[in-house]
């Protein structure tokens, strides 16, 4: 049976990106140097595997995210508590938490150091 094993996107600063995703609860699962000088950093949530691959290419100062990228979504047991912890690390939501329908889960978006949107959904 096919399975989605990871998502990859490119980053410009390994330490900043690892710190950001660590603040969201991810753990670094591995780091690999590639023959072309690039570095792949695999991040995962506890007990879920390394589902996020961050690729650092030396000498690249920024990437165009484009209009095709939307976001990845991560759950939060306590959205307000998560946002308070993130604020302590300088990470602020794009706007306060909201719902998209009556009775729906509260959510909000934050951006990683390279501008990728991350949806936080309260569960």
In this structure, are residues 6 and 42 in contact, taking their beta carbons and an 8 Å threshold? yes
Is 92 marked active-site? no
- Name the percent of the chain lying above pLDDT 70: 100
Of 27, 28, 61, 119, the active-site residue reads 119
Instruction: Quote the CA–CA distance of 32 and 42 in Å, as a whole number.
Output: 9
Count of C-beta atoms within a 10 Å radius of residue 51: 16
Instruction: Quote the CA–CA distance of 30 and 40 in Å, as a whole number.
Output: 8
Q: Which residues contact 33 (CB under 8 A, 6 or more apart)?
A: 39
Residue ranges and CATH numbers for the domains of the chain are 1-60 (3.10.180.10), 70-123 (3.10.180.10)
- What does the pLDDT read at residue 4? 81
Q: Is 109's pLDDT higher than 90?
A: yes
């Amino acid at each position: 049976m096919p399975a989605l094993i990871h998502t990859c996107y490119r980053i410009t600063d390994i330490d900043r990106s690892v710190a950001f995703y660590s603040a969201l609860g991810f753990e670094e699962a591995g780091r690999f140097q590639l023959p072309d000088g690039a570095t792949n950093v695999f991040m995962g949530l506890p007990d879920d595997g390394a589902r996020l691959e961050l690729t650092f290419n030396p000498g690249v100062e920024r990437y165009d995210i484009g209009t095709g990228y939307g976001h990845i979504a991560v759950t939060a047991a306590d959205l307000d508590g998560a946002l308070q912890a993130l604020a302590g690390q300088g990470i602020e939501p794009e706007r306060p938490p909201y719902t998209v329908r009556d009775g729906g889960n509260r959510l909000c978006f934050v951006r990683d150091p390279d501008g990728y949107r991350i949806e936080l959904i309260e569960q």
